[in-house]
Amino acid sequence: MMNIPFTKYNTLGLLISSIILLVSITSIFFKGLNYGLDFTGGVSIEIKYKERADLERIRNSISKIEDANFLVLNFGSDENVLIKFQSDEELNINADTVINILDDDDYLGEVVKSETIFPQIGEELRDKGGIAVLVAIFAILIYIIFRFQIKFGYGAIAALIHDVVIILGVFSIFNLNFDLSVLAAILAIVGYSLNDSIVVSDRIRENFLDPNSKGSPDILINKSLNQVFARTIITSFTTLLVLMALLFAGGAALYNFSLALSLGVVIGSYSSIVIVVGVLLKLNLSNKDMEKPKNEPEESYSLD
C-alpha cells in the first residue's frame, strides 16, 4: 500500500482551492456567465445537406444579416448543420430570415427542424436548472447524514459546492457558452463527486471502527486515503479516456458538455481527497463520532 502524506499537505490543498474559488466567484459575480440560447431565448435550425456541408459558406451568407449573432456548427455528422442565433422578443430575425437568405444564395439543404425559444422560457429553464442543482445537493446532505454522520455530510456538500463553483468559474472566466447541456453535465458531476466522496468517507469510517486500526485521526484518515487512492485514479483515468474522445472527436456541439464533464471528473476526484478530508480534520473527527446510534441496526456498521 502507498504511504503518501495526504493530511500533511491538506492545508496547502485547501489554500489552493480557496484561491481558485475566490477567482471563480469574483468572475461569476462581476462578469457572469455567457448563457446560451436555451436560457436567453432565440432560434435553432437543423439543416441536412446531401454532401458535406460548407460551414464557411453558410456563415458568409448569414453574415449578410444586419446585427446577426449566429453559431454555425456540424451536428451529428458532416452533412447535418445546426444554426443557432439570438433574437429579440419581437423575433425581428427569425428562422425564415436565415432560410430565405440561404435559399437566395442557392445553398439551402433540407430543413429538418426549426425551434424558437422565447426569453421568458429561457429564464424559466435557467431558474429551474438552478433549483435542480440545489435540490440535489440538499438531498445528498440528508442521505449522507443518515448513511454516515453529519460531519461527513458537511464534507461532501463542501466538495460539491467546490466542484460546481469552480466549473462555473471556468465557463465565466473563458466566456464559454453555458447551455442546457452544460447544466446537465454539472448535475452529472454532482453525482460523480458524491460517489468519490462516499468511497472516501466509507473507508475512513471503516478504519475508525476497526479495532485493529490504531493511531490518531490524522493517521487513520491518511491510511484511508492511501487505500482508496489507486481506485480513485484508475476510475478517473478510464472515465477521462471516454470524455477525451468526446472532447476532441465529438464536434463543436458536444465540446462544452465534454469539457464540463472532464473538468468535473478531475476536480471531483481532487475534492473528495482534499475538501472532504479538510472539513473532517477541521471538525476534529474522532472515534466518538463513529458510535452507533441506539436505534440503528448492527448490520449497518459491518466492515465486510
Residues 20 and 64 in one domain: no
> C-alpha distances in angstroms, 269 versus 201, 244, 246, 276?
13, 17, 20, 11
* pLDDT given at position 303: 41
pLDDT at position 157 over 70? yes
pLDDT of residue 91: 56
Residue 87: which CATH number?
3.30.70.260
Region of poorest pLDDT, from 8-22, 131-145, 257-271, 281-295: 281-295
Q: In which band, very low, low, confident or very high, does the pLDDT at 225 lie, cut at 50, 70 and 90?
A: very high
Confidence of residue 24 (pLDDT cuts 50, 70, 90): very high
Does residue 164 lie within any of the structural domains? yes
Q: Which residue has the higher pLDDT, 90 or 156?
A: 156
Is 1 a member of any domain? no
pLDDT in tens, 183-212: 889 888 888 888 888 888 889 988 888 888
DSSP 8-state secondary structure symbol assigned to residue 291: P
The answer to whether residues 140 and 84 belong to one domain is no
Q: pTM here?
A: 0.80
Domain-located, residue 2 = no
**Residue 21: what pLDDT?**
96
What is the total residue count of the chain?
Answer: 304
Q: Assess whether 171 and 186 both reside in one domain.
A: yes
Domain holding 55, by residue range, is 42-117
Asked if residue 169 and residue 85 are part of one domain, the reply reads: no
pLDDT of the residue at 137:
74
Q: Are residues 176 and 294 in the same domain?
A: yes
Q: Kindly state whether residues 216 and 113 are assigned to the same domain.
A: no
Helix axes 150-173, 10-30, angle to 10 degrees: 50
Q: How many domains does the chain have?
A: 2
- Domain for residue 18, yes or no? yes
Which one, of 98, 215, 204, 191, lies nearest residue 149 by Cα?
204
| CA 163/CA 140 separation, integer angstroms | 15
Does 156 lie in the same domain as 60? no
Same domain, 97 and 201: no
Instruction: pLDDT band for 87, please (50, 70, 90 cuts).
Output: low
Going by pLDDT thresholds of 50, 70 and 90, the confidence category of residue 304 is: very low
Shared-domain flag, residues 48 and 17:
no
Of 117, 150, 179, the residue at which a domain comes to its end is 117
Both 213 and 285 in a single domain?
yes
CATH at 17: 1.20.1640.10
Whether 230 and 113 map to the same domain: the answer is: no
Q: Which of 117, 140, 168 is the last residue of a domain?
A: 117
